[in-house]
Homo-oligomer: A and B are copies of this chain.
Amino acid sequence: MTQRMALSELISSYIRAESTVYLAGFSHLIPFAAGHEIIRHGIKHLTLCRSTPDLLYDQMIAAGVAAKVVFSYAGNPGVGLLPAFRRAVETGGIVIEEYTHAEMVARLEAGAAGLPFWPVRAEDNDLTVQRPRASVVCPYSGTQIPVVPALNPDVTLIHVQRADEAGNLYMWGLPGEIKEAALAARTLVATAEEIVPADSARTDREHLIVPGFRVAAVAHAPYGAHPSYAAGLYERDTVLYQEWNRIARDTAQCNKWLDEWVRGVPDHAGYLAKRGVRYFERLALKGGHDRANES
C-alpha cells in the first residue's frame, strides 16, 4: 500500500546516489519541489531521464546532481536552450544518451510491458550513427524492424494534481509520457497538489493515471510544479523561465540562485513561504479545481 510521507522523507527513502530516475512531467506537472529536495539532500551521480529535460533538470545539472542525462529534447520551452546542460555537454561534464521522442516513449512502452525491447517505425539519422540502432527480423514479412531497448527507471517520480489517501493518482491536461514513465518504473513515487480522502476521487476515473497499489509513496506538495504549470490549477511562471535563461549562463550566478532558492530554504514549505502566498495568487487560474473535468 502507498505510504504517505513528507517530501523530505520520500526523497531520502527512495532516491539513492547513482540510481536512474525519471522525474516526469511534460511542460506542466514538472516535479520541481521534488527535484529541489534532491538537490538539498546532496544526492549525486544520478542518471536523469525524461523526453524533455527542461529548467528543473538544468538546475539539477547546475547543482551537480547528475552524472548522465537520457533524453530526446533538452530545451527551455518557448525561451531557448538549457545553459547548464549546454555547458555540461560542451565541456564533457556529463554523459548523454539521446533519442528521438518516438524512440524515447517506445523505450518506456517496453518498460511498462515488461519486455526488453520495442519495435518502432524509424529511419536512420546521425543519432543512429552515434548510437547504432538494433533491429530484429520480422518472422512474417522478413523485413528488418528497428527496435529500442526498454527503459525501466529505478524510480519514477511524478507530480499530479490530486492523490487520494489510498495512493490513487489523478492528473489532467497534457499527458506527455507521464503514465508510461510511471508504469515502466521499478518503484513509483509521487508528489501531489492535494491529497483527498480515499475513494473521494473515484467518480473522476478518466483522470486516474495509476492505481494506488502501484505507488510506493506519496507526499503532499502544493505548487509542487512551480514554476511550471499544473493544468486547471495554476499557470506557468514564465518570468522565472526567462530569468533562469540569463542566470544559468554564468556558473557563479547559477550557484547564487541555487543557494538562495533551493539550498537556502529548509524544504518545500520554506520555499513557498519565501515566495509568499501573494506570489502564487497571480498564477492561479480562474475556476481553479473546478476545471479538472474540462481539461
Contact = CB atoms under 8 A, between A and B. Distances in A.
Contacts of A293: 293
A293 B114 CA distance: 33
Contacts of A135: 139
A138 B136 contact: yes
Contacts of A149: 140
B117 A140 contact: yes
Interface string A271-295: 0000000000000000000000110
A141 B119 contact: no
Contacts of A206: 206-207
A17 interface: no
A203 interface: yes
Contact of A139 (B117, B120, B140): B117
Contacts of A117: 119, 138-141, 145
Contact of A294 (B119, B121, B203): B203
A139 B137 CA distance: 10
A113 interface: yes
Nearest to A136: B136
Interface string A130-147: 000011111111010101
A115 B149 CA distance: 17
Contacts of A118: 119
Contacts of A270: none
Interface string A105-137: 000000001111111110000000000001111
Contacts of A207: 206
A216 B57 CA distance: 44
Contacts of A134: 139-140
Contacts of A140: 116-117, 134, 149-150
A147 B145 CA distance: 13
Given A203-B294, A294-B203, A116 B143 contact: yes
A113, A115, A118, most chain B CB atoms within 10 A: A115
A115 B145 contact: yes
A114 B122 CA distance: 11
Contacts of A294: 203
A114 B146 CA distance: 13
Given A113-B121, A118-B119, 6 more contacts: A114-B121, A116-B141, A117-B138, A117-B139, A117-B145, A138-B147
Top 8 A-B residue pairs of the complex, sorted by shortest distance between their CB atoms: A134-B139, A206-B206, A136-B136, A116-B141, A116-B138, A140-B149, A115-B119, A117-B138
6 contacts: A114-B121, A115-B120, A116-B141, A140-B150, A203-B294, A206-B206
